[in-house]
């Protein structure tokens, strides 16, 4: 890197909210080093991809995107500019050798647990040119102890309270890429939340792969659960909204469900992935619950807060899934009546148990089942959005809209909402009358400050 010139960086993020959070924390580190963010990779001295390995397509796309970065690196070289290309995230942890062989122009690769070492890695690269540093340790230290203060960039902020997962669902790569489940201490989380609120955060979304099994250390040295943490966070003045994601159904304790009744700041929306409605498939997936137990949890949640809306993830075409199993999934969708959900075709991940199961489902059948499921889910989402018309909802406005004079926000149910408004309305919560409910967004008119 050149002395006396501000180093510019570009980060592209793939995958889940954990990766969005990680990218933000990496950006915080780079900014502390005096680096400046740019929107186009061609303008960047440092190009960083934060990657996802959850499905095969995600990983393949990375290599084609990286190929385009090589072209940019070569073009910049012709202009006399040096470019460092880095890869972070889950692909690195799972396939660091592939990165070194398929993309030899990459200068460094770091896993999801070691990105706090990026400043050190960049210093090494500056000293010894043309080396490729690969850091995929599962380190003894916690990255959170080395990151700079997390400051708000808007009214909504993510806060990772846990890392890794011990569930080992038989289709899933995450326990191998993010390691065993560890929970951050309560006081560290409360401090990070207070810092966020002091810098204008109104809503915090607590993150973890299995966030409801949170078991961090309290100030008395004893283990605390998510319900305890939610109660503590609720006491923070200035914090208006709290969410947590993603929850594992078998870990929805009664104490946590009660928070949905008692804590007014907790939003009436919960992402509670079911994956499949068939007990046979749930067992083969190593999910620790049946469809009946899931329905009992849903009932309890609805008793605690009748306004609650649920969302889910589904996988179709898991090995051994028959028409009957798939129909059981459709039945569950009907019974729970999700307001929104994500659905995916099963993707074989090397190293996971299900990748070598017999009776892998044909692509054509996966495709057909996905279409049937998504049509149903989308029509439920549209119905819910239409039912919102005429209601007044508190909306947290986050950004300018595509057209001038328009702004975007989110309702308590995470729906995107468009309204007429200006810069003064952004990062504020306003009561809005809903005037339109479409498939992907609502429209409304701002009434007043909520």
52 binds ligand F3S (CB under 6 A): yes
Determine the size of the site formed for ligand SAH (CB under 6 A): 17
Residues contacting residue 286 through CB under 8 Å, at least 6 positions apart: 167, 168, 169, 170, 353
Q: Quick one: which of 167, 381, 415, 427 contacts ligand SF4 (CB under 6 A)?
A: 167
Interaction partner, residue 168 (ligand SAH, ligand F3S, ligand SF4, none; CB < 5-8 Å by kind): ligand SF4
Residue whose entry in the numeric block shows the structure tokens 């009907």? 334
What torsion, rounded to 10 degrees, do the Cα atoms 209, 212, 213, 214 define?
A: 90
429 bridge partner residues: 396
Interaction partner, residue 347 (ligand SF4, ligand F3S, ligand SAH, none; CB < 5-8 Å by kind): ligand SAH
Q: What angle do CA 306, 311, 312 make, to 5 degrees?
A: 135
Q: Quick one: which of 26, 47, 174, 396 contacts ligand SF4 (CB under 6 A)?
A: 174
Q: What is the CA radius of gyration of the chain?
A: 23
Residues contacting residue 98 through CB under 8 Å, at least 6 positions apart: none
CA 274, CA 261: separation in Å to the nearest integer? 22
Q: Least distance to ligand SF4 from the beta carbon of 178, Å?
A: 8
Q: Quick one: which of 44, 46, 48, 54 contacts ligand SAH (CB under 6 A)?
A: 54
Q: Least distance to ligand F3S from the beta carbon of 174, Å?
A: 5
113 binds ligand F3S (CB under 6 A): no
Q: Least distance to ligand SAH from the beta carbon of 39, Å?
A: 28
Give Cα separations from 253 to 96, 163, 247, 376 (angstroms). Answer: 38, 20, 11, 30
Three-state DSSP at 428 gives: coil
What torsion, rounded to 10 degrees, do the Cα atoms 109, 347, 210, 96 define?
A: -10
Kindly identify the residues of this chain, within the stretch 138-177, that bind ligand F3S according to CB under 6 A: 173-174, 177
Interaction partner, residue 430 (ligand SF4, ligand F3S, ligand SAH, none; CB < 5-8 Å by kind): none
Are 215 and 242 in contact by the 8 Å Cβ rule? The answer is no
Kindly identify the residues of this chain, within the stretch 85-104, that bind ligand F3S according to CB under 6 A: 89-90
Instruction: Select the span of 62-70, 130-138, 168-176, 236-244 touching ligand SAH (CB under 6 A).
Output: 168-176
Instruction: Select the span of 35-43, 115-123, 166-174, 343-351 touching ligand SF4 (CB under 6 A).
Output: 166-174
Instruction: Select the span of 30-38, 112-120, 135-143, 171-179 touching ligand SF4 (CB under 6 A).
Output: 171-179
**Count H helices, E strands: the chain?**
12, 21
Instruction: Select the span of 43-51, 124-132, 172-180, 360-368 touching ligand SF4 (CB under 6 A).
Output: 172-180
Are 241 and 233 in contact by the 8 Å Cβ rule? The answer is no
Q: Quick one: which of 244, 248, 326, 408 contacts ligand SF4 (CB under 6 A)?
A: 248
Maximal C-alpha separation, the chain = 66
Kindly identify the residues of this chain, within the stretch 274-303, that bind ligand SAH according to CB under 6 A: 275
Query: What does the block give as tokens for 89?
Result: 């995230």
> Which three-class secondary structure string do you get for 62-115?
HHHHHHHHHHHHHHHHHCCCCCEEEEEEHHHHHHHHHHHHHCCCCCEEECCCCH
Are 314 and 275 in contact by the 8 Å Cβ rule? The answer is yes
Our CB check for ligand SAH shows the closer of 107 and 312 to be: 312
165 binds ligand SF4 (CB under 6 A): yes
Instruction: Select the span of 74-82, 111-119, 160-168, 290-298 touching ligand SF4 (CB under 6 A).
Output: 160-168
25 binds ligand F3S (CB under 6 A): no
Closest alpha carbon to 252 in 200, 202, 203, 287: 287
246 binds ligand SAH (CB under 6 A): yes
Query: What does the block give as tokens for 442?
Result: 């609502």
Q: Could you give the string, one character per residue 180-219, with x where binding to ligand SAH holds by CB under 6 A and - elsewhere? A: -----------------------------xx---------
313 binds ligand SAH (CB under 6 A): yes
Residue whose entry in the numeric block shows the structure tokens 């660091």? 96
- Footprint of ligand F3S (CB under 6 A): 15-16, 18-19, 52-54, 89-90, 173-174, 177-178
- Footprint of ligand SAH (CB under 6 A): 54-55, 171-172, 174, 209-210, 246, 248, 273, 275, 313, 315, 344, 346-347, 349
- Footprint of ligand SF4 (CB under 6 A): 165, 167-169, 172, 174-175, 209-210, 248
């Amino acid at each position: 890197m050149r002395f006396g010139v501000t180093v510019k960086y570009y980060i592209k993020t793939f995958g889940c909210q954990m990766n969005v959070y990680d990218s933000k924390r990496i950006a915080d580190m780079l900014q502390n080093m005096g680096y400046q963010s740019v929107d186009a990779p061609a303008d960047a001295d440092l190009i960083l991809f934060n990657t996802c390995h959850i499905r095969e397509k995600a990983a393949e796309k990375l290599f084609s995107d990286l190929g385009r970065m090589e072209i940019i690196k070569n073009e910049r070289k012709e202009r006399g500019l040096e470019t460092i290309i880095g890869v972070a995230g889950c692909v690195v942890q799972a396939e660091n050798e592939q990165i070194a062989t398929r993309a030899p122009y990459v200068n460094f690769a770091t896993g999801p647990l070691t990105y706090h070492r990026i400043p050190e890695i960049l210093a090494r690269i500056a000293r010894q040119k043309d080396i490729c540093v690969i850091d995929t340790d599962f380190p003894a230290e916690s990255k959170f102890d080395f990151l700079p203060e997390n400051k708000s960039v808007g009214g909504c902020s993510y806060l990772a309270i846990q890392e890794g997962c011990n569930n080992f669902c038989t289709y899933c790569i995450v326990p191998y890429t993010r390691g065993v489940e560890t929970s951050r201490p309560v006081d560290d989380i409360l401090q990070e939340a207070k810092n966020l609120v002091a810098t204008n955060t109104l809503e915090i979304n607590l993150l973890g792969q299995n966030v409801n099994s949170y078991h961090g250390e309290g100030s008395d040295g004893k283990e605390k659960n998510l319900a305890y943490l939610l109660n503590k966070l609720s006491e923070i003045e200035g914090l208006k909204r709290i969410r947590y994601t993603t929850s594992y159904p078998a870990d929805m304790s009664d104490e946590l469900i009660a928070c949905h009744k008692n804590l007014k700041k907790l939003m009436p929306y919960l992402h509670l992935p079911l994956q499949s409605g068939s007990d046979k498939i749930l067992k083969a997936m190593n999910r620790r619950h049946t469809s009946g137990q899931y329905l009992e949890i849903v009932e309890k949640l609805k008793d605690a807060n009748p306004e609650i809306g649920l969302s889910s993830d589904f996988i179709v075409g898991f090995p051994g899934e028959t028409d009957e199993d798939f129909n059981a999934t459709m039945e569950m969708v009907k019974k729970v009546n999700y307001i929104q959900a994500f659905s995916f075709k099963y993707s074989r991940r090397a190293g996971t148990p299900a990748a070598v199961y017999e009776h892998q489902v044909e692509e054509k059948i996966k495709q057909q089942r996905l279409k049937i499921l998504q049509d149903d889910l989308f029509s439920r989402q549209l119905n819910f959005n239409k039912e919102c018309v005429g209601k007044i909802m508190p909306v947290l406005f986050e950004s300018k809209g595509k057209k001038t004079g328009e702004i975007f926000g989110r309702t308590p149910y995470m729906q995107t909402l468009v309204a007429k408004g200006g810069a003064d309305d952004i990062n504020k919560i306003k009561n809005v009358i809903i005037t339109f409910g479409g498939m992907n967004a609502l429209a409304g008119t701002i009434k007043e400050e909520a």
